[in-house]
Structure 1
Amino acid sequence: MISPPTNLAQLRQRVDAIAGMTLGDLAEQYGFKTPEHLQREKGWVGQLLEYVLGASAGSLPEPDFPALGVELKTLPISYQGTPLETTFVSVAPLTQVTGLSFEQSTVYKKLFHVLWLPILAEREIPVVERVIGSGFLWQPDAQQFAQLKRDWEELTEMVALGQIEQVNGHFGEVLQLRPKAANSKALTAAIGKNGERIQTLPRGFYLKTQFTRQILAQQFQP
């Protein structure tokens, strides 16, 4: 077990040490079995990197490095350096959301300070040959914070008003709310349109790709 980093400088050192490595090399170094494809093991890349970097939160609703208040987010990118998919932030609460503020939310805790780890992950590249890019620490600026808060508040209000079944990925400027379940039988409680309890698919908050593209551009474009 790798001990958690004690400060940001130590975390940066660990991130810099794996930049340019393939996932296969890293997995072999730490005794991880590499899957042929990720359809059934979508979380494998994150689990490998959490282990190597010493993340300790597991599945708890707090940042991956609790002592540092930093969340780890892997970001699959194309040859052009653009995000290939949306980024999962957290599971969304679908009951008891009335009176909850953005600053109290798991989304806020997860995005307050993020370690982004880009990974070259075009579909034709085998998992073992995918390359880890230069990781970097990021915090939302005032405009990004306002966008995230506005989207979260609008989406959470729809949940509170019993409109969960009307919400789809088109809602939200930078943040979206959409189903997150391994299969259609995994149901959870939510608020219906008349205030009653209903059963629906679990939902997750995701960052849209244009938002993560903007983050990458801020970091890497001169």
Structure 2
Amino acid sequence: MMNDVIDRVPPPQNEAELLARATALAGYTLGELALRIGLPVPRNLQRDKGWVGMLLERYLGASAGSKPEQDFAEIGVELKTIPVDAAGRPLETTFVCVAPLTGNSGVTWLNSHVRHKLARVLWVPVEGERSIALEQRRVGAALLWSPNADEERQLQNDWEELMDMIVLGQVDRITARHGEVLQIRPKAANSKALTEAIGRNGQPVMTLPRGFYLKKTFTAPLLARHFLL
């Protein structure tokens, strides 16, 4: 059992400690976990998209916050909560990181932020069906994962195609349909939050920030293999 009050949990010393902490959360509802640390439960996640991740970070001892490094930087692990249906299938795409729209000379797949973020991931499935009240949704069994050779090849192919479009000034031509397993989508709280990118003639242009997201066609088989669905 967990302590009744969770103060600042120190970062885990190794993967085994992190996985043990995550395993201890399985079966609890989000409401139970939030109550123990006095965290208010939002009415829904429309304006609080990161709330579930923030709640679990408190219990697991994540240290990165909004910094661009991994959530558990000391041991090189990223935390990804993933909403699933009753059959364990992901209900939405998974945000990876912000897509760099300028300053990409010398960037390759091997030194890319996407590869760094996805090198080692703690996946924590959480019930996500809207028919279940947020506080009643249960945390599932966690999975520590690294991409296998096939998954890495899929990710690299998509990343290279998408980054080529960015560098060639075609960012506004990129749609969510580009990429087999990895996509780029606008990521902004509102349409006024513009950032600099490269235009078709190499000139600076202003556009919406973009983010890399894993498609459900990538995360569904990943979870299915783990849970033997």
TM-score of Structure 1 vs Structure 2, range by shorter chain: over 0.9
Check conservation: 2:9, 2:61, Cα contact below 8 A. Answer: yes
Give the one of 151, 160, 175 matched to 1:168: 175
Matched residue count? 222
**1:185 shift after superposition:** 0.5
Provide the rounded CA distance (Å) in 2 between the counterparts of 1:62 and 1:133. 25
1:34 and 2:45 matched: no
Provide the rounded CA distance (Å) in 1 between the counterparts of 2:99 and 2:16. 32
Give the one of 117, 125, 138 matched to 1:118: 125
Give the one of 190, 194, 199 matched to 1:187: 194
Write the deviation string for residues 14-61 of structure 1: whole angstroms up to 9, x where unpaired: 011100000000001111111111111111111111111000011111
Secondary structure of the structure 1 residue equivalent to 2:59? helix
- Superposed CA RMSD: 0.8
1:22 and 2:29 matched: yes
Secondary structure of the structure 2 residue equivalent to 1:131? coil
Provide the rounded CA distance (Å) in 2 between the counterparts of 1:134 and 1:30. 21
Aligned partner letter, 1:103: L
TM-score, normalised via structure 1 length = 0.98
Secondary structure of the structure 1 residue equivalent to 2:154? helix
Corresponding residue of 1:105? 112
**1:69 shift after superposition:** 0.4
Aligned partner letter, 1:7: N
Matches within 5 A, 1:38-187: 38-187=45-194
Corresponding residue of 1:8? 15
Check conservation: 2:82, 2:94, Cα contact below 8 A. Answer: yes
TM-score, normalised via structure 2 length = 0.95
4+ residue runs over 4 A deviation: none
**1:86 shift after superposition:** 0.2
Provide the rounded CA distance (Å) in 2 between the counterparts of 1:9 and 1:205. 29
Check conservation: 2:88, 2:224, Cα contact below 8 A. Answer: no
Write the deviation string for residues 81-100 of structure 1: whole angstroms up to 9, x where unpaired: 11000000000000011321
Write the deviation string for residues 154-184 of structure 1: whole angstroms up to 9, x where unpaired: 1001000000000010000100001000110
Aligned partner letter, 2:177: H
Aligned partner letter, 2:65: G
Secondary structure of the structure 2 residue equivalent to 1:162? coil
Provide the rounded CA distance (Å) in 2 between the counterparts of 1:197 and 1:80. 46
**1:80 shift after superposition:** 1.5
Provide the rounded CA distance (Å) in 2 between the counterparts of 1:4 and 1:21. 21
Provide the rounded CA distance (Å) in 1 between the counterparts of 2:79 and 2:108. 23
Provide the rounded CA distance (Å) in 1 between the counterparts of 2:47 and 2:68. 23
Provide the rounded CA distance (Å) in 2 between the counterparts of 1:32 and 1:152. 37
Segments of structure 2 that go 5 or more residues without pairing to the other structure are 1-7
Q: Report the identity percentage.
A: 55
